[in-house]
């Protein structure tokens, strides 16, 4: 069995900054209301004139990650692409990135696990490398939320939260010496609880209720094609599951909470992250949050935050880095990394 490690990181966010005050143009809200509930000050939304899409942003982030890994596109053996907002119903974003980067005819797998998508994608890539099937895997998390949000007072409870962006990591096989030092991904832990699926959901259009049926109904109160979230219910479950996933990872590796050098939580809500930080008694320099600037970018949030923390010099050799996420499904999980 081999170990896998992150050898390259990159992220991309649109240039278009949407501040809380800007949202008042099409909904009743305020900067104070949004910050009090979410901690968000601004987010990035794609300007359609730029040509950015979920796959395009994923490709931009991937080019940076591959270069930083000291590799070329021809060195990548496989792609795992996590998103809830693909450019098309099918095919998925993985094959689009393969084409955009002019890669060889390598495999491309899409992961649809929403906010925990990048955690799941990392776990999949890690297993491929552990078994020796692949040596270098490109793992992407990318989202275009702004194209599908209800930009009105009715939809503000969801719309104010989400932003667009993408991040990418190159996962590579560890050397024998790195493996002997215990470097790389130590473990991953994945869970789901589908009975709560409709508490955070986008129901249509879908094969159960396709576009013609929605159009024929012509119901102005039909919001099934916009995301729905039971905010308080999700918050309550998130703080519990976040903690469980982190503890599970620590216990699996005979580690204590004091061993955590950097926690990268999914950027769902600053209040959730602060609760987890307090529970694990982590100082500010051991947790990286950027939801204030980017909002919740779901599958992209963990990898954008991880890349940013690394760029800022917050992650050092031999650090224990913990990634954790919770979201729609419900699905949640963690990844433990010895840097």
Contact between 335 and 122 (Cβ < 8 Å): yes
pLDDT value at residue 225 = 62
Q: Minimal CA–CA distance to 336: which of 189, 127, 203, 135? A: 189
The CA distance from 67 to 142, in Å, is 19
Q: Which domains, ranges and CATH numbers included, belong to the chain?
A: 4-180 (3.40.47.10), 184-338 (3.40.47.10)
Contact between 268 and 331 (Cβ < 8 Å): no
Structure tokens at 321: 């880095």
Q: Minimal CA–CA distance to 336: which of 142, 165, 119? A: 119
The CA distance from 266 to 275, in Å, is 13
Report the catalytic residues: 115, 266, 296
Structure tokens at 275: 């609760």
Contact between 338 and 184 (Cβ < 8 Å): yes
Contact between 58 and 168 (Cβ < 8 Å): yes
Contact between 169 and 303 (Cβ < 8 Å): yes
Residue 241 Cα to chain centre, angstroms: 16
pLDDT value at residue 200 = 82
pLDDT value at residue 111 = 97
From residue 258, alpha-carbon distances to 12, 242, 268, 281, 320 in Å are 32, 17, 24, 8, 10
pLDDT value at residue 331 = 96
Residue segments in the chain with a per-residue pLDDT below the cut of 50: none
Tell me the three state secondary structure of residue 104. Answer: coil
Which strands, in side-by-side order, build the sheet including 331-338? Answer: 184-192, 331-338, 320-327, 262-265
Tell me the three state secondary structure of residue 109. Answer: strand
pLDDT value at residue 223 = 66
Q: What is the pLDDT of residues 185-203, one digit of tens each?
A: 999 999 999 999 888 888 7
Tell me the three state secondary structure of residue 188. Answer: strand
């Amino acid at each position: 069995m081999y170990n896998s490690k992150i050898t390259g990181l990159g992220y991309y966010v649109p240039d278009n900054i949407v501040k809380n005050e800007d949202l008042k143009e099409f909904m009743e809200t305020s900067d104070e209301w949004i910050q009090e509930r979410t901690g968000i000050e601004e987010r990035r939304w794609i300007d359609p004139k730029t040509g950015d899409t979920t796959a395009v942003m994923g490709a931009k982030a991937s080019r940076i990650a591959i270069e930083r890994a000291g590799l070329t596109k021809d060195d990548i053996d496989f792609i795992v692409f996590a998103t809830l907002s693909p450019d098309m119903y099918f095919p998925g974003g993985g094959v689009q990135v393969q084409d955009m980067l002019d890669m060889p005819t390598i495999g491309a797998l899409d992961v649809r696990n929403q906010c925990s998508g990048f955690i799941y994608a990392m776990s999949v890539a890690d297993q491929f490398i552990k078994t020796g099937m692949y040596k270098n895997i490109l793992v992407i998390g990318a989202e275009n939320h702004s194209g599908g949000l209800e930009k009105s007072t009715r939809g503000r409870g969801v719309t104010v939260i989400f932003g667009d962006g993408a991040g990418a990591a190159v996962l590579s096989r560890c050397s024998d010496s790195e493996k002997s030092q215990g470097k790389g991904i130590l473990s991953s832990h994945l869970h789901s609880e589908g009975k709560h699926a409709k508490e955070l959901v986008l129901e249509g259009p879908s094969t159960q209720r396709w576009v013609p049926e929605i159009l024929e109904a012509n119901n102005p109160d039909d919001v099934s094609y916009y995301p729905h979230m039971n905010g308080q219910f999700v918050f309550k479950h998130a703080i519990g599951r976040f903690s469980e996933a982190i503890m599970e990872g620590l216990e699996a590796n005979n580690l204590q909470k004091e061993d955590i050098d950097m926690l990268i939580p999914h950027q769902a809500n600053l209040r959730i992250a602060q609760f987890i930080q307090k529970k694990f008694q982590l100082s500010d320099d051991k947790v990286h949050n950027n939801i204030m600037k980017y909002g919740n970018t779901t599958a992209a949030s963990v990898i954008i935050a991880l890349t940013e923390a690394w760029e800022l010099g917050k992650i050092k050799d031999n650090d224990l880095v913990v990634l954790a996420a919770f979201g729609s499904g419900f699905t949640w999980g963690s990844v433990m990394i010895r840097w």
